Structure 1
Amino acid sequence: MIRIIPDLIDAAGVKALRTILDRADWIDGNETSGPQAALAKRNQQLPEFGDAAVEAGRMVIDALGRSPLFMAAALPLKIYPPFFNRYSGGEAFGDHIDNAVRMRRGTDFRIRSDLSATLFLADPDSYEGGGLVIEGMAEAPGLKLPAGHLILYPSSTVHRVEPVTGGVRVASFMWIQSMIRDQAQRNLLFDLDLGVQGAAAAMGQGDPTVVRLTGVYHNLLRQWADA
């Protein structure tokens, strides 16, 4: 299931991130590519352990933790520290599937990639092309969200970034290992969570029906979660 998280980062936050990114030194994006991705990938990327990536990544992780919608949709157990990339001059990333397991170089940090996320950091009108196309997504020319919006999608899907033919496309991307490995179970919990929130808003948190539905949610989470 594809989820859009609007306004994960507000305009001021996007400006602060872009100040960091636009002053940084960028490298060839294939520095961190696997064999399959390297054949399809043409872009630039911030060095993973550079000061700019670490500072900006911390800001993104903080924003994710403050988003109830992201937390409900992803139910994250681990989040790989965010990467940052940019495309210009015809650069693109052809069809690929993200690696099932990501290991951070020089550390013992390892993650199973259940979900992939792209956080847009450039206004759609500031670049031409560069749409994100995800297998099964209705938008044929690709998705271009406002700066600060995030899209969450299964890492198992084939996806690509269309060539950027004008301007510069800047984004952050990351992978999430969910507490709920099964996508159908994760979708069910998301829908139930939204239903519980709606019932609580209408009837009050202490209403017996709301209490019972909340219990169902947590008992299913208890049964299915790896935590």
Structure 2
Amino acid sequence: MKKLFLVLSVITASATAASAQVEIGVKISPSITYLRAESPSSTAFTNESSKFSFGGALIVDYFFGENYAFGTGLALMGKGGTVSYTDHATVGGVVGTTPVRVNQKIATQYLELPVTLKLFTNELAPATRLYFQLGGSLAVPIATRVNNEKFYQDPYDNNNETKASEHVFALDLNALLGAGVEYQLGHSTKLLAGLSYHRGLVNLDHYFEKTRDFSDVTIKNNVFALDLGMKF
């Protein structure tokens, strides 16, 4: 009886694996990114401007039903933007009383692992289906520049020099929402085009509170991306 149960289990697992379908592809993602910034009124952090960025990704969709897939892969994404804040001029090591407004541009490249659920409609037109994507992603920074430089000298902190990579936290988590359309071009080839929103959930600041002793500074990523790709 045990042997029969084992054989049936193997057959069931084999049938499940055989019915599952994996689709692999690539995409490029031009995007608009900016930083959500906030702090107490003493420093008044705020988003100043966005930046254009460019990314690419390997797509892996593991289908566990005709219209349902686990979507993952590996992406390289650029994020960042310009924030402004209030500082006080420092002369001879003494903090002055005249507040000044400072801009800081932060640009970071992330290696990102998405973990999402993708839902597909039936064909709305010949060979054409819509998809909706919901989930999150885990990202680690691999390169950072502050004001276009790998090192940063703070003019209001006695010109102390720091590495740009030390300005951002070593991990980012994102909520991910997306939607788009897939077109069946051939037997196993599909074209896709969509829009996605990546909302950072982790405070990236690893400089102002740690090095400048500012209080309650929060800086988070935001990305709106155009996703253009192909599955093979």
TM over 0.5: no
TM-score normalised per structure 1: 0.24
Q: Higher strand fraction: Structure 1 or Structure 2?
A: 2
Quick one: higher RCO (CA 8 Å, sep 6+), 1 or 2?
1
TM-score normalised per structure 2: 0.23
Q: Higher helix fraction: Structure 1 or Structure 2?
A: 1
